[in-house]
Structure 1
Amino acid sequence: MPNAPQADFAIHALAAALPAGEAPPEWIAIFPQVGRIETRDGRTYDVDATALIARFKADGVAVPIDVNHSTHHAARTGARADAVAWINELRVEGGALQGKVEWLAEGKSLLAAKSYRFISPDFFHTSEGVTTWLRSVALVTAPALGGQKALAAASSQESKMEKLAAALGVTAGANEAALLTALNAGFVPKAVHDEAVSKLSASETKLKDIEDASRKARVDALIEGALKDKKILPAEKDHYARLCATDSGYESVKALLAAKSPALTKSGLDDKKEPGDGAMPAPALLAAEAQKLVADGKALNIFDAVAALEKKYSAAA
């Protein structure tokens, strides 16, 4: 077919092999390459991927995949032209114009039986051969374009290769040798990997132990200081220690104790000697004697009783 005007279209202009495999490909190469192409019978076209994608998006209509261009022939006779799949998205990948395919049951069956191994686009073009609109794509048995690679980019294997290339930071479309080189460059033997993981785990455990010991030392110092300053009672020690279980808890308790006034005044009995020859009795004995003064009504409270006894024994000394 010579270059046709805008209103005409070309069929069997191109064809590419469908990938062999159990599952039908999600992406197929409608045009194995973009730009200037030539068919086996001498026709030339200029595949304008930008224009084809723009028209596809503007139409908002899925492109049918039929058998032997039945869509084209049915348009002339009014006959049925059932689709065996639908193309719902176009993209340029690896230098090819690809279509994302939703395969129907019949399409899957034809591919599984290997009844059709190639595809061929049905497209409109200008008089200069520049593609303008992709109307349909057909499953065919004979390609029109020779020397073109099969649709590897649409196979599951190629999809895996693309993902591997992306993960390795290799340019899309890189061959197997380039991927193997990248893999070897970043390869770490399992034994080395396991040893590194083990050492890292041990280091993390050691660091946690150090952090826990450091926090405990800080908490103990804070609590003992509060006890010494009479800001908390011995019975409250464990309660405040639990509040210091986290760094934020420790800081909160520290601020609370800093603002807290002593609960008991210092008695001055800590350094007193045991009773005898007028010496101040031991704290436990002094406390018992003070409680007796309060019980006998000789002192209003424990603080007054302690003060009276302290005065008594100081004078005796």
Structure 2
Amino acid sequence: MEQEFHEDQKDGDAQTFYDGTFHAALIDLCPEVLCPDVLCKDISCEDATVSQAPEWVELLPKAPHVKARDGREWHYNPQTILKAFAANKGPLVIDYEHGQHHRARNGLEAPASGWIEELAERDGAIWGRVKWTEVATKKIISREYRYLSPEFRHSKKGEILNLAGAGLVNRPALVMTALSREQPLPPPLTTDVEKDMDLTAIASALSLAKDVQLDEILASIAAREKERVELNAQLTKAREDLALLQEEQKNNAIESLLDKAIEEGKILPAAREEYRALCTLEGGMEHFKKFGRKVADACLNKPFRSVCLSARTKTCSRRSCCCGTSLPRRAEEKRVGHHH
């Protein structure tokens, strides 16, 4: 098992990226591959008589631990690997000598040798169903290639997050060393939160168990986001209802104020709409109330109704007009002279 390493300088700060690759035999992988002093198991001589390449191959040993021969360890949850593969919505490529990474990036040909079309968990291990190309099938049967080198992404804490593909190889350690010198692999498929923060702290903030998996954390965040959207919708509806209620109450208050002003003789009924428009403005009702008080004060100091009635009475008395209509004096005299 090899681990690829490079340092990428950016803005003066060293950023370290690690990617591990577990090398497994194409056929008949046994538990001894987990031993520190064994890199991978060769294909036995009997396998050379097989007429076709194996359809199912073991990609990751039994969970939860994967151990390299130099002592480095990784861990994974099979369900996390299966969910990540399903989310990819497509097969994973198997190439020759990891050519997709160090040949394709340099514009060189890097053909596929097969495609991982399905993953399955078998006794805690991850197996893949591979559709080999015709060329790769011949190379495997003739033992031109004898090992499969799966690639996986893992976090800084050593959690394997997803399978990224695989490569047919013969000398995994040397190939991987050359690969790391020629061209670094792309960054791991993890979120910035997972890379830069302790998942335990995030789980604690979400009131989840400390050993919760990344997919469970993401599911919890998604559920909370859905709840937030629903609450915001309810809040918006409540605000709209409150605005309508306040507008209705204000209109009722304006109508009551105008009714009272007309009843008390402070405004003419014909001017109701003008005063209603005034009251709907900001501070309009307060201005109207002040106006009403001034009119009331003026009537108390100089009784408007009394003055009007007195004037009408005098006019009627002087001109013998019971209706109180003020007629021109000459017209009245002519009318009186005519009767005489």
TM-score (norm 2): 0.38
Higher RCO (CA-CA < 8 Å; seq separation 6+): 1
TM-score (norm 1): 0.41
